[in-house]
A and B are shown apart, each in its own frame.
Chain A
Amino acid sequence: MLETLSGPWHWFVSGAVIALVLVLLLFFGKSFGFSSNLRVICAACGAGKVNSFFDFNWKAQTWNLLFLVGAILGGFISTTWLSDGEPIQISQATVQDIQELGFAAPQDLQPQELFGSEALSDLKTVLVLLVGGLLIGFGTRYAGGCTSGHAISGLSNLQLPSLIAVIGFFIGGLIMTFLLLPLIF
């Protein structure tokens, strides 16, 4: 059993478990949307004193912060007890494309070039992560949600705005992948 769970999960199993998370939160009287936590963190740090967008009863969102803590624990549990140590198997075409950008073939779940211990001493890598984070934080709040809030929750409720947002995610993702990454790396 543990051996089966320790290998990579099939996309169908993975998608079904994500849908289960969505349904569990609905039955808890909540809605699945992770990026709201970023606004809650701003508010909890006192941003409400500076700007009215962060002046709301963020404590009512404590449940989502607990969900966030659980997500970190889930990552820890996966890497500690549910890992077979095998490198990630991605398409050979992708391996070739990222090698042209200067990334080595996958050895782990994440590239050393961005997330290894030496990444922090490289100014360019720090800037890439910082700017990438800024775009994620700004964009998700502007769009009113991220992959969970729009692509999963919103599309499950057949919301046209969520479809527009997801189309936006892909336009941005394709511009970054095909136009900007070759300039950055």
Chain B
Amino acid sequence: MKGLKYILTGILFGIVMSKSEAISWYRIQEMFRFQGFHMYGIIGTAVILGVTAVWLIKKYNLRDFQGNPILFKPKEKSVPRYLIGGIIFGLGWALVGACPGPLFVNIGHGFWPILIAIVGAVAGTFLYGLVRSRLPH
């Protein structure tokens, strides 16, 4: 079962998203209203530890489990796509109270109406593909 490790990592992700309450509309509201430290603590801790991990991987040229070098692809330089795309996503994030990962974790909790948002997210991705050549990037 080559794929089992991805399922298990996904389970760990689903559990931490649930138990951190990052999948909750309430927590996202609290975050965007700057009325609680919780979400900032979660993201801040993940980023500080992530920066440290990536730095160590680069410094010691660590390899993945198959012995291949771990490479980091730099993101393309641009402003409009990140800023405009980011704003559009932010509008949806604050409305539904879930970013893409939590959209799916919520299914596991049986919050079935989230399926409508997932249909919307797939449709939105498709729509982007249709109009992307006409958008500033």
The interface of chain A, by Cβ under 8 A from chain B, is: 5, 8-9, 11-12, 14-31, 34-35, 37-39, 41-42, 47, 50-51, 53-54, 62-64, 66-79, 82, 88, 90-91, 93-94, 97-98, 106, 109-111, 114-117, 119-120, 125-126, 128-144, 146-148, 150-162, 164-177, 180-181, 184
Contacts and interface: CB of A to CB of B under 8 A. Distances in A.
A30 B42 CA distance: 22
B10 A169 contact: no
Given A68-B10, A79-B110, A164-B79, A74 B15 contact: yes
Interface of B: 3, 5-33, 35-39, 41-51, 53-54, 57, 62, 64-66, 68, 70, 72-79, 81-101, 103-114, 116-130, 132, 135
Contacts of B78: 161
B103 to A, nearest CB: 7
Interface of A is mostly: helix
State the 8 A-B residue pairs at the shortest beta-carbon distance, nearest first: A74-B14, A70-B10, A168-B86, A133-B120, A172-B90, A75-B108, A15-B45, A137-B124
Contact of B86 (A30, A31, A53, A143): A143
Interface of B is mostly: helix
Contacts of A41: 122, 125
Contacts of B41: 11-12, 14-15
A28 B108 contact: no
B17 A75 contact: yes
A74 B65 CA distance: 24
